[in-house]
Amino acid sequence: MDLNQLSLAVQKGNAAKVKEIVNEALAQKVSPSEILNTGLIDAMSVVGEKFKNNEVYVPEMLMSAKAMNAGMQVLEPILTSTGVKPIGKAVIGTVKGDLHDIGKNLVRMMLKGAGIEMYDLGIDVTAEAFLAKAKEVQADLVCLSALLTTTMPYMESVVKEFEKAGVRDQFTFVIGGAPVSESYAKSIKADYYADDAVVAVDVAKKILAQKK
């Protein structure tokens, strides 16, 4: 079966078509990991590259990510049952006081598409909630999002909460959002800054490769 059609459906953001092709490919005994890698993940790499080159924008990227997730929903139970392990685990959320979630949702979908097990805590998330979840699932990454300059300082509170608990070194912090910068990440002792979802995927893959 030609998985190029699946890749094109993802790139066009056609979720219904993606589901249909994934089911068809499974019926034709194409391996789930091949469908995942060649059909879904490669497609999002193309979309990511187009985003970097300003050929597509956030709305198109969201559509593609949603289409990819539609395919993932079909594949996940099969991948799990066949013992295909995620490449890592990440906890993600928008920090306390901030109710924005479009950027955070896009990052979550992109990271999930890259093979990372995602735990989304939603919006307005406290430092204690980040800490509890990260410890519970033994996360590799803790991803913090903020879209307001007024809520951005709470990112530091989250990092400090982990320090206070004596577990800061067990987790890698990746932060992002409109007002956030590389220098701000350094100032609050976060490990990495990602200025968009594509960069977040690159950063996450790099971190997890180093951990292996």
Judgement on whether residues 65 and 136 belong to the same structural domain of the protein: no
Judgement on whether residues 149 and 183 belong to the same structural domain of the protein: yes
Judgement on whether residues 126 and 181 belong to the same structural domain of the protein: yes
104-163 tens-digit pLDDT: 999 999 999 888 999 999 999 999 999 999 999 999 999 999 999 999 999 999 999 999
**Calpha distance 65→24 (Å, rounded):** 20
Residue 8 predicted with pLDDT over 80? yes
Tokens 């949702």 belong to residue: 105
pLDDT at 131: 98
Tell me the pTM. Answer: 0.86
pLDDT at 79: 85
Residue 34 predicted with pLDDT over 80? yes
Residue 2 predicted with pLDDT over 90? no
Last residue of a domain, one of 23, 58, 81: 81
**Calpha distance 162→124 (Å, rounded):** 18
Judgement on whether residues 196 and 96 belong to the same structural domain of the protein: yes
pLDDT at 113: 85
Last residue of a domain, one of 81, 110, 126: 81
Judgement on whether residues 183 and 119 belong to the same structural domain of the protein: yes
**Calpha distance 180→121 (Å, rounded):** 20
The residue among 59, 65, 23, 25 whose CA lies nearest residue 44 is 65
Mean pLDDT of the chain: 94
- In terms of average pLDDT, the best of 56-65, 81-90, 128-137 is 128-137
Q: How does residue 66 score in pLDDT terms, banded at 50, 70 and 90? A: very high
Judgement on whether residues 207 and 187 belong to the same structural domain of the protein: yes
Judgement on whether residues 46 and 119 belong to the same structural domain of the protein: no
Judgement on whether residues 191 and 98 belong to the same structural domain of the protein: yes
- The CATH number for 64's domain is 1.10.1240.10
Judgement on whether residues 190 and 112 belong to the same structural domain of the protein: yes
Rounded mean pLDDT, 66-82: 90
The residue among 11, 1, 89 whose CA lies nearest residue 43 is 11
List the domain range (segments joined by +) for residue 57.
4-81
- The CATH number for 105's domain is 3.40.50.280
pLDDT at 107: 94
Judgement on whether residues 183 and 160 belong to the same structural domain of the protein: yes
The answer to whether the CB of 211 falls within 8 A of the CB of 193 is no
Rounded mean pLDDT, 172-198: 96
Judgement on whether residues 122 and 20 belong to the same structural domain of the protein: no
Q: Which residues pair with 88 in a beta bridge?
A: 116
Judgement on whether residues 106 and 68 belong to the same structural domain of the protein: no
Q: How does residue 13 score in pLDDT terms, banded at 50, 70 and 90? A: very high
Last residue of a domain, one of 63, 81, 99: 81
Rounded mean pLDDT, 6-35: 95
The residue among 113, 212, 204, 107 whose CA lies nearest residue 121 is 107
Number of domains in the chain: 2
Angle at 134 between CA 128 and CA 135, to 5 degrees: 90
Tokens 């987790």 belong to residue: 171
Residue 168 predicted with pLDDT over 90? yes
pLDDT at 200: 95
